[in-house]
Amino acid sequence: MRERGIDDGHIINISYTVYPTSLSRFYSATKFAVRAITEGLRQEMREEKSHIRISSVSPALVETQFAYRALKDSERAKNLYTSVESIKPEDVADSVLHIITSPAHVEVLFYMNFFC
């Protein structure tokens, strides 16, 4: 955006609210990296007094095809999505819409106690 002379807009990264387990350690690492990159970019834009907004959406378990493909076991994947409260992709889209329609001076924070 900046390279094209644009100093307005909104970058939204999708992360994940996850606690590392032996099965998800590499996936968790990538999502923590997304958070770090988002925060670093947000600080950079703030220091440069840019009008580009930086946000991150970090949902908990979203019911998609991800678990079905990763686990390669439809019964296990189905059990995963029914054993804990999962959200729909539409919920993530609604969160993104809420963020981009909020005034620039508003900080939107959502916390979920997924594993508590």
pLDDT digits (tens, 9 = 90+) for 15-47: 887 666 666 788 888 888 998 999 999 999 999
Amino acid at 96: V
Quote the domain boundaries for residue 37.
Answer: 2-101
Q: For this structure, is 16 an active site residue?
A: no
C-alpha 82/C-alpha 105 separation (Å) is 38
Domain CATH number, residue 20:
3.40.50.720
Q: How many domains would you assign to the chain?
A: 1
Calculate the dihedral angle through the C-alpha atoms of 33, 106, 10, 56, rounding to the nearest 10 degrees.
20
Query: Is position 33 within any domain?
Result: yes
C-alpha distances out from residue 43 to 5, 34, 52, 76, 100, Å: 19, 14, 11, 41, 19
Query: Is position 116 within any domain?
Result: no
Query: Is position 66 within any domain?
Result: yes
Residue 63 has pLDDT above 80, yes or no: yes
Q: What is the pTM of this model?
A: 0.77
- Pick the catalytic residue from 16, 19, 27, 68: 27
